[in-house]
């Protein structure tokens, strides 16, 4: 197959990333837990949401702008946190921050990103909003406090706190590539995969140094060494975390708090009670528990459960601007995208991410135009056909508009 000269879709960028990255890195991004049924269901579920086309409506002034977590956005989308993004392209998080800022959408830096918070913040154009910051609950609460303070000092005002990772999922692709093993044999396997990608070696492994966990390097023993860090972080996952710990976190963090990993309406209500300003309906991209519901299926019930009390975002399987429209029609205020932007970054760098986001904005605008809506706040169940209405949706437009006006 010839190389794609003009990638047009997230799938095209996925192919570009596959050709560029060592296999163990591509599979780390691309894979899911278990048999990857939830990974596949996330994508398929959005395609089952049929839209209601309308004609002869004045759509001469369609506006994709909105607000997410109090931030003005060119479209209702943010780049989700992706661990090791700086291993996929040279100083990858900094490149993605520039692309997101230029596109007018938020970028979320992962705790286990390669670039440090200050580097990512400095990469944005002058006057651009700071990044959002993603964090896990670690056993070492002192490290959590230090990371929160570091994020605040860097200007971050939105914390995306991941709650669905008490233990890492069973990701079989990582096992097959030797990422779950130590010793000479898995190291040789990964080395062979690296040597098969000389372009990546030159651009990332050599020119992209230092390849360390930037935000953790000054806080955590082993933060400057990928192998030592893995041993540390494996010991830091805390399966004993409960809602009491979220109460503690709420007392530590002065900014907006979004809880990422909500897939049940009772947990959504608990997030409201804990003082979160927003939730992310998420199954960790199908990377944690295989067999759980697709996020498109879980979203409407959760959106109804929390009403107008918090902002609702969703991730998982969103692959284009039309899927973004579907998410809004099902009750979300916006989406987080992970794999699409990291595929574009790996395949085309900063320019690839900018191209992807511009394409999604055009697709969203087209979906709005052909369903007869001109404002993001007006997208709701009325833009779904009868089949989609039968899955139990209730009007959510008023809730979205109230939050947009805040």
Q: Which residue out of 181, 284, 333, 394 is catalytically annotated?
A: 284
* Residue closest to 40 by CA, chosen among 50, 49, 32, 48: 32
Cis peptide before 210 (omega within 30 of 0): yes
- φ, ψ of residue 311 in degrees (nearest 5): -80, 135
Q: Decide if 181 is catalytic.
A: no
Looking at the annotation, which residues are catalytic?
284
């Amino acid at each position: 197959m010839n190389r794609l000269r003009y990638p047009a879709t997230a799938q095209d960028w996925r192919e570009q990333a596959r050709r560029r990255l060592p296999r163990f890195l591509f599979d780390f991004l691309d894979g899911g837990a278990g048999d990857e049924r939830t990974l596949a269901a996330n994508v398929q579920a959005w395609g089952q949401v049929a839209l209601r086309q309308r004609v002869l409506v004045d759509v001469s002034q369609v506006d994709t702008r909105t607000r997410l977590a109090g931030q003005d956005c060119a479209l209702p989308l943010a780049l989700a946190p992706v661990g090791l993004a700086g291993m996929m392209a040279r100083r990858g998080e900094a490149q993605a921050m520039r692309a997101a800022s230029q596109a007018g959408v938020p970028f979320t830096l992962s705790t286990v990103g390669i670039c440090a918070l200050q580097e990512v913040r400095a990469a944005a154009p002058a006057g651009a909003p700071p990044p959002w910051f993603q964090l896990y609950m670690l056993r070492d609460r002192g490290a959590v406090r230090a990371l929160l303070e570091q994020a605040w000092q860097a200007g971050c005002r939105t914390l995306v706190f991941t709650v669905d990772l008490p233990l890492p999922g069973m990701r079989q692709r990582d096992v097959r590539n030797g990422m779950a093993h130590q010793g000479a044999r898995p190291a040789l396997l990964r080395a062979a995969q690296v040597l098969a990608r000389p372009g990546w070696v030159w651009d990332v492994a050599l020119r992209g140094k230092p390849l360390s966990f930037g935000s953790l390097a000054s806080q955590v023993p082993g933060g400057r060494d990928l192998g030592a860090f893995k041993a540390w972080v494996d010991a830091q996952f805390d399966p004993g975390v409960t809602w009491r710990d979220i109460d503690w976190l709420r007392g530590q963090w002065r900014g907006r708090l979004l809880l990422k990993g909500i897939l049940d309406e009772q947990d959504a209500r608990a997030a409201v009670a804990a003082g979160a300003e927003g939730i992310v309906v998420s199954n960790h991209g199908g990377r944690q528990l295989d067999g759980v519901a697709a996020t498109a299926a879980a979203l409407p019930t959760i959106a109804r459960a929390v009403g107008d009390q918090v902002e609702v975002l969703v991730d998982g399987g969103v692959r284009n601007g039309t899927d973004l429209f579907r998410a809004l029609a099902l009750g979300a205020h916006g989406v987080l995208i992970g794999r699409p932007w990291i595929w574009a970054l790996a395949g085309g760098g900063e320019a690839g991410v900018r191209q992807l986001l511009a394409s999604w904005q055009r697709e969203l605008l087209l979906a709005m135009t052909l369903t007869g809506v001109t404002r993001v706040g007006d997208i709701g169940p009325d833009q779904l056909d009868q089949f989609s209405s039968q899955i139990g949706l209730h009007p959510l437009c008023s809730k979205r508009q109230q939050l947009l006006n805040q």
